[in-house]
Amino acid sequence: MTHEDRSPAPHVLWAALPQAVRERLDAHVLRRSRLMAARQVLDAGLHPRPGLSACLDLVHVREEILADRLVPPPARDADTLTARAEALGWPVAALESAWDGDSRGWILVLDAVGGAGERAALAQWQEVVWDGPRAIAAEVARRLGVPVRGPGEGGPDRP
């Protein structure tokens, strides 16, 4: 049995946390800062120290409990992303999309890339259907008059 197998259930872990840690954890959850929330649990001084998986399970439970109070995700429509790219202070030479992963699954990340190597994150999506984000990226690229480069259209596990 590994340490992760012995990790406490979320409700047991929550009960073991001091009130100040609970408050900091929830503040990070409300801002959608999952890793910082998990860090609060890891740094709480619990013995035995819970594994990262158990901490993220607790964060997920807190996200469900606090769902109606979470800050809204940033806007990711073509108008907003075009304006964001135009406000970078340097000319955008291309848009690049790439797959990334986190504790919940795959993320499609969209970056603006400048001719001198500048790079800025424009948006990210964690979706089941990828057609919407890819269409938005294509529209932003069209408006900016730049190419959009990236992985295959089928999702992270298909070319």
pLDDT tens track for 67-86: 999 999 889 999 999 999 99
- Tokens (6 digits) for 1: 């049995």
User: Does any domain span residue 156?
Assistant: no
User: Does any domain span residue 134?
Assistant: yes
Q: With 60 as the cut, is the pLDDT of residue 5 above it?
A: no
Clarify whether residues 83 and 53 are in a common domain. Answer: no
Contact 92, 120 (CB under 8 A): no
pLDDT of residue 6: 67
Q: Where are the alpha helices (DSSP H) in the chain?
A: 10-16, 19-30, 34-42, 52-65, 78-86, 131-144
In sequence order, the 6+-apart residues with CB closer than 8 A to the CB of 128 are none
User: Which residues constitute the domain of residue 98?
Assistant: 78-149
Number of domain units in the chain: 2
Q: How confident is the model at residue 12 (pLDDT cuts 50, 70, 90)?
A: very high
